[in-house]
Structure 1
Amino acid sequence: MVESDKRKAAEAGLSHSDLGTEQIHDDIESLDAPNATLVHNTKSNSMNGESAETPVSQEWAVAESKSSRKKRRKIEREPNGDPSISFSGSRPERVDLKALQDLVLYILADGTAPTWLAVRNAKQIKKVVVLMVPALDETMLRDAELWNGRTEESMTSTINQPGKPISSPDPTPEDCSSASNDAPTNHSRSQVALNLPSTHLSPDQNLTDRLLHHIIEVRAPGDSRTGRVHSPLQGMLIAPFPEAAKQKLKNSKDDKASHGIRTPIADFIHSVDELREAEYPIHPAAFTDSSDAQLENERREKTGQSHCSGWVDTHVSVFKPRILSSSHLQAHDFLTQGLKPYALDCEMVLTCDGKHSLARISLLDWTGRTVLDRYVKPALAIQDYFTQFSGITEKILEDVTTTLGDIQKELLSILREDTILLGHSLESDLNALKMTHPFVVDTSIIYPHPRGLPLRSSLKFLANRYLKREIQKGGMSGHDSVEDARAVLDLVKLKCEKGPTWGTLEANGESIFRRIGGTLKMDANGEVVLKTTAMVEYGTPERGLGRDATYKIGCSNDDEIVQGVLRAALGDSHERTFTKDGSKNTAEVDSTSHDGGAKTQGLDQAIPPGGADFIWARLRDLESARGWNTLPSDIFPTPTSSSTPDAALPNDQAEHLRDIMRQTVRRIYRIFANLPDRTLLILYSGTGDMRSLLRLQNLQAQFKREFKIKKWDDISVKWTDVEEQKMKTECERARRGVGVLALR
């Protein structure tokens, strides 16, 4: 560099003393403080008196010597130091949900360090508990009355854990120091948020202070340009493959080694959440909670999917299929376990009421034998035969006398408690059949689209990609439902042979449970073991996203969720069993049943003392009370009472909602108060209020349907650029959730 390109220290506003060893030494010593910022990106106020908001392009920083850097890194990696978290620099305006997932993987697996959060002694954080609370918002978190009202009850339920006396759950000096690092004033965040006095804080209030210190806005995955919000469950529980693993799988020639082992078909049966997200009509037996079943029943009545509208439910009363006992499985296929899978495909026509009606049904058994292949005469006049897609013509249906009712009766005699329905976008077929069945495997879900839901790959694409088979080549003669059903059957068989990850590499990545579960740790005995994970969820967590968790704890209400989280965090022992209110009880955990089925809190899975390293759970009462758990098909183009804002609720409903909010706060606090030391609790809401967005999406869908079959002047709804821009705005608003980071 030429001399003219250099700047002297004086020109930068630095004196010789600024560059002296004393200043460097002081900088290093300051790193001993827990609230030290590890990466400085603002100019010191001592530098010529300039403000810390100096643009980056004008910043000057003191160069750090090699010995100073070594000392700093040694402090950062202090092997026995207490962990702490603080925002790197200023509090971020928002973070994406993926950033929370990355934080979990950084602490427990092989992820990279976050740039927005400084985590000191990250490897000293022993557990991470992720709690999803849909309908939680920042206003609720900062509501003084809600948090003050939970103190007495929650303190009585705190467990006297070894090394953590109930009488003094005060934060450590490091925690107190860290807590003041990012606060907007000298008061702690909870004092600011809850307007509490700054002196004589009770031990309970200190714990609340630690819980509420790091509140951030969390942005759900999605695409605001198209008005789509993606699943916040998948956003947290499905992690992208590391580049090395992705390349290894891509180059591998051994499919079995790359994609797991043979998997029984029962493991692919979809959970209620997966069916709900795919807009399936849900069978009553699929629910393990009566209130959820009642909500679904009300939804079906409003949307014309009830018995009064000609719908039927298969004769099933259990939420799990009847699998043969192990002593009888030897004579049966390992993949079916004695169950009877049937591949179903239907062809539809458009009738004069503007709906798609059944015109042909094909049903194949597991061996590929055609069990049923029948044309059906719709009750109403046919407006469009869709011949290019269905292969149905007026001549084909001319002499047909079979009705929808005849098909329903025949299917009811076939579909039982040991039957699984296979199909592609099967909700369309079930809508045409006006039928529900609780045990479903959908190839559009188990072979997800590369960009995730709500997008789905076509059956033609999947058959060509994974079966190397060309289907639907009929041209104007349309599809063959038998051919399509056979493709579905072969895709499901291939999935069972290859394992759950087959066909998902380019889609959603791998389960976070599998990723963490493949990471090594040293246990209390000094032995190297694999880390363990747990999913605590309503219904049957062993289905869907929870199948890869080490421990699956099924629950039927929020109190059981709290109980399950604490059990997963602490392990099974007579001293650490909890009652519904979270207090200690030496009795065994009560099990609950549904329709005679034996559903327990995963008690057949013994959790060793010390519990799991990663736990994911979800509370649902708040979501239900605020009406945020509505399905897309339950939101009509015009506003209804279900979308009434909280402030506009009648007094009795407002008080009920307020009571649910108090209960939710108590449950959150109870979990945090009883977690072991050095546990990171991550709360996130998933999304904001989706109802306005869903209403616009349904308006757009209705417009598209009518646009295809009606004249412009006869379309009942309009979709212009005004609605298009409004949908983008509502999508961005719906993606704004809230999150909390709290280190126990």
Structure 2
Amino acid sequence: MKRSQDSVSSPRKPSKHKKAKIAPNQVVPHASTTVTRGDDHDAGGEAEWTRVEKRKAKKNKKGEAKHDALMPRFMYVNGEIVKRKDAVHINDVRDLVLHIVADAPPPNWVKVEHARSIEKVVTLLIPGILPSTLALPPLPTSATANPNIPLSIPLPAESHTPIPFIASTYSHACPTRAPGDQTRMYSVLSEFFQCQVTPQEKAKRQAQRASQRAFDSTPALYMLTLKEMIENEYPIPSYMADVFEKGPGWIETPQVSEESLLLLPADKLDSKIYAIDCEMCLTEDGKELTRVCMIEYESGIVVYDKLVKPPKPVTDYMTKWSGITESLLASATTTVAEVQAQLMPILAPKDGPTSILVGHSLESDLRALRICHPRCIDTAVIYHHPRGRPLKPGLAWLTKKWLNREIQTRGDSGHDPEEDARACIDLLRSKLRYGPSYGEFKTDFESIYERMGRASGRGGPGSVRSVVVDHGNPAVMHGSKASSNVPCTSDEEVLEGLLQTIPAHEFAFARFTGVADALGWLTPKTSAGETPAVTPAEPSPIVLASAQATLNNQLVTLYASLPARTALIILTGHSDPRRMASLNARKSTFESAIRSGKKAEDIDKADWWTASDGRELEEEVEKAKRGLLFLGIK
């Protein structure tokens, strides 16, 4: 809730509204405007029409003043919030944004007065702002008190908060709850950016699926489009699009002319399909190819399987994933360039069309091979993660879920590329047998940007322009459907990106991670083979204070640049996830050891996973899911 606004939930004395002002770009006719008389034969008639312009000007001025007086504002509806089982969810915040920007129905937990008067919406995800940061009271533990009601934020002078912008701009902080289950917290970004489709869009999709059933037996139906290849960072041949820069040692599958295809006999027109899987080891130059296996789809015959000698000495064989050992690779003599030469006749046969490659996250294999190939089927794309896009499912999980068999169970011995390639073949066959919707989750969900693009308000479909300003490359993740994307490497670049793009967009999303980084929340995920930290280390007070001061200055600068009637929505998403992550890593390590054939007595008791550990994990997950929401309009 904005600090200066009236609010039914605020105990403070309501502030008086300023007098309505006429925007500087509005033309107000002068009061003495008159109309030149055309003739004077009817003075009475003239008296009626000579004042028409003045009456119109007065009416317009009154309408403009009324529009100015209809200042939009947020008001929490505590009566509805107390009825909820949990705090406000991330998808509730998403639906609030869609209500303002698009055509979603109004939420019941917050009232938006004069929502159509809001010109722009800027949503910021800023993990690391904790209740203690703003001197908020602890969550009530009494059975008669509700922990989900918005909390009044003390003024900066009272709280000595390191981020005074929040305390001086917003009067209340609304508790939120991140998505997840009992043992895990799910992606806040995924929850925010994915929404259910409207009934009209759902009916349209069902009709499309029905029309596709006639083509279910054609594997080419599942080939990635150029757009999908770009979104998933595939190395793309230059004749498809000039978007990928090939470095030294790269080749591309040659383009086949339509004329040459017309000369082929009928029995040669169908493309050959091959499943491929590669294994990599680590050198000083990064991951390098060390084994490649290719299987023909129809016959199931292994047509290529070779160890590959990296161009530089191996620094880490990554055996637990690659299955490659020093002794196994010692006999390898084939180079990457030789592999390319040997594979190209298979990928581009002289007596047929270009072959189709099948793989799981196939872009990684093609990058290891340094080959740009145009025709690809990716089981990580045609099958869905249970929590929807942009998350991708793992191959072992897909095989267990949809083929009812287990792979990658050799423990520290690593993966078998032939086993993985055969799993991809069987997944494609199941897709062809059961149809396009097989293996899909949340088929009736879409990106919020698709929803905004179809919105009929604010000028009609296509009138809402959106932008994502975020670390990394948002264009291949949550921003893939937005009008614009600004990739960043620092919070400074995020701020600069917002300042440049907000004027031309109706909705903007950005993430500031400096405070979370200072708190140690952005450390790399602990892998199953590593020993997790039992207790997260405390952040440096000096580093944390500097990050908080920097964030405050960035928010002040951003707010000053926002045009009037811009809704600034800030959510923290979650609390400290480190203890939850370390417990989950320990649980995964223990379960992996048991799956690999070890008995409990063969494992150090300190590494056992017990019922007590399970209860602690559930408690830490609940703590990590807690977040805060701040609503305001400039």
Shorter-chain TM-score tier: 0.5 to 0.7
* 1:206-228 CA distance string (max 9 Å, x none): x765632231222110002xx01
Query: Pick from 486, 509, 533: which aligns with 1:639?
Result: 533
Alpha-carbon offset, residue 511 of structure 1? 0.7
Alpha-carbon offset, residue 548 of structure 1? 0.7
Q: Which residue of 1 aligns with 2:626?
A: 736
Q: Could you tell me whether the CA contact under 8 Å between 1:362 and 1:482 is conserved in 2?
A: yes
**Residues 201-600 of structure 1 mapped to structure 2, 5 A cutoff:** 211-224=169-182, 227-252=183-208, 253-255=210-212, 262-269=225-232, 321-322=244-245, 344-345=276-277, 361-363=292-294, 372-374=304-306, 403=329, 406=332, 409-410=335-336, 414=340, 423-424=359-360, 443-444=379-380, 447-452=383-388, 456=393, 481-486=420-425, 506=442, 509-522=445-458, 530-570=463-503
Query: Pick from 706, 728, 731: which aligns with 2:593?
Result: 706
Distance 1:659 1:366, change over 3 A: farther
SS in 1 for 2:173: strand
2:572 matches 1:682 = no
Q: Which residue of 1 aligns with 2:16?
A: none
Q: Could you tell me whether the CA contact under 8 Å between 2:101 and 2:452 is conserved in 1?
A: yes
* 1:7-59 CA distance string (max 9 Å, x none): xxxxxxxxxxxxxxxxxxxxxxxxxx96469xxxxxxxxxxxxxxxxxxxxxx
Distance 1:644 1:124, change over 3 A: same
Q: Which residue of 2 aligns with 1:615?
A: 508
Alpha-carbon offset, residue 623 of structure 1? 2.3
Q: Could you tell me whether the CA contact under 8 Å between 1:346 and 1:481 is conserved in 2?
A: no
Distance 1:330 1:509, change over 3 A: farther
Task: Give the superposed CA RMSD.
Answer: 5.6
Give the distance between the partners of 2:333 and 2:428, measured in 1 at CA.
Answer: 21
Alpha-carbon offset, residue 254 of structure 1? 3.5
**Residues 136-147 of structure 1 mapped to structure 2, 5 A cutoff:** 136-142=129-135
Amino acid at match of 1:254: S
Query: Pick from 650, 667, 684: which aligns with 2:554?
Result: 667
Give the distance between the partners of 1:99 and 1:667, measured in 2 at CA.
Answer: 27
Alpha-carbon offset, residue 723 of structure 1? 0.8
SS in 2 for 1:254: helix
Amino acid at match of 1:742: G
Q: Could you tell me whether the CA contact under 8 Å between 1:189 and 1:212 is conserved in 2?
A: no
Q: Could you tell me whether the CA contact under 8 Å between 2:600 and 2:608 is conserved in 1?
A: no
* 1:425-474 CA distance string (max 9 Å, x none): 789x99xxxx8999999633663233459894768968998xxx99999x
2:75 matches 1:86 = yes
Q: Which residue of 1 aligns with 2:544?
A: 657
* 1:102-151 CA distance string (max 9 Å, x none): 101111112121111111011111211111122232322459xxxxxxxx
Give the distance between the partners of 1:208 and 1:265, measured in 2 at CA.
Answer: 40
**Residues 109-128 of structure 1 mapped to structure 2, 5 A cutoff:** 109-128=102-121
Give the distance between the partners of 2:222 and 2:103, measured in 1 at CA.
Answer: 20
Distance 1:438 1:691, change over 3 A: farther
Give the distance between the partners of 1:218 and 1:460, measured in 2 at CA.
Answer: 31
Give the distance between the partners of 2:559 and 2:333, measured in 1 at CA.
Answer: 54
Give the distance between the partners of 1:264 and 1:491, measured in 2 at CA.
Answer: 25
Q: Which residue of 1 aligns with 2:610?
A: 720
Give the distance between the partners of 1:114 and 1:743, measured in 2 at CA.
Answer: 17
Paired residues, number: 471
Amino acid at match of 1:194: S
More off after superposition, 531-540 vs 706-715: 706-715
Alpha-carbon offset, residue 323 of structure 1? 7.1
* 1:81-122 CA distance string (max 9 Å, x none): 210111113676831111101101111112121111111011
More off after superposition, 613-622 vs 448-457: 448-457
Q: Structure 1 unaligned runs (5+)?
A: 1-32, 38-76, 144-180, 197-203, 272-284, 286-319, 335-340, 349-357, 377-389, 571-610
Give the distance between the partners of 1:738 and 1:405, measured in 2 at CA.
Answer: 58
Q: Could you tell me whether the CA contact under 8 Å between 1:448 and 1:457 is conserved in 2?
A: no
Distance 1:460 1:710, change over 3 A: closer
Give the distance between the partners of 1:436 and 1:715, measured in 2 at CA.
Answer: 39
Q: Could you tell me whether the CA contact under 8 Å between 2:150 and 2:173 is conserved in 1?
A: no
Q: Which residue of 1 aligns with 2:578?
A: 691
Amino acid at match of 1:639: A
Alpha-carbon offset, residue 658 of structure 1? 1.2
Give the distance between the partners of 1:409 and 1:623, measured in 2 at CA.
Answer: 44
Alpha-carbon offset, residue 561 of structure 1? 0.5
Amino acid at match of 1:87: Y
SS in 1 for 2:521: coil
Q: Could you tell me whether the CA contact under 8 Å between 2:70 and 2:114 is conserved in 1?
A: yes
SS in 1 for 2:631: strand
Q: Could you tell me whether the CA contact under 8 Å between 1:450 and 1:507 is conserved in 2?
A: no
SS in 2 for 1:535: strand
Distance 1:104 1:265, change over 3 A: closer
Alpha-carbon offset, residue 690 of structure 1? 1.3
Q: Could you tell me whether the CA contact under 8 Å between 1:472 and 1:480 is conserved in 2?
A: no
Q: Which residue of 1 aligns with 2:159?
A: 194
Alpha-carbon offset, residue 266 of structure 1? 3.0
Q: Could you tell me whether the CA contact under 8 Å between 2:534 and 2:579 is conserved in 1?
A: no
* 1:647-705 CA distance string (max 9 Å, x none): xx4xxxx2122101110121123222211111111212222111111111111111112
SS in 1 for 2:475: coil
Give the distance between the partners of 2:371 and 2:125, measured in 1 at CA.
Answer: 25
Alpha-carbon offset, residue 742 of structure 1? 1.9
Q: Could you tell me whether the CA contact under 8 Å between 1:537 and 1:617 is conserved in 2?
A: yes
Give the distance between the partners of 1:405 and 1:141, measured in 2 at CA.
Answer: 62
Give the distance between the partners of 2:557 and 2:565, measured in 1 at CA.
Answer: 16
SS in 2 for 1:739: strand
Distance 1:247 1:237, change over 3 A: same
Q: Which residue of 2 aligns with 1:630?
A: 523
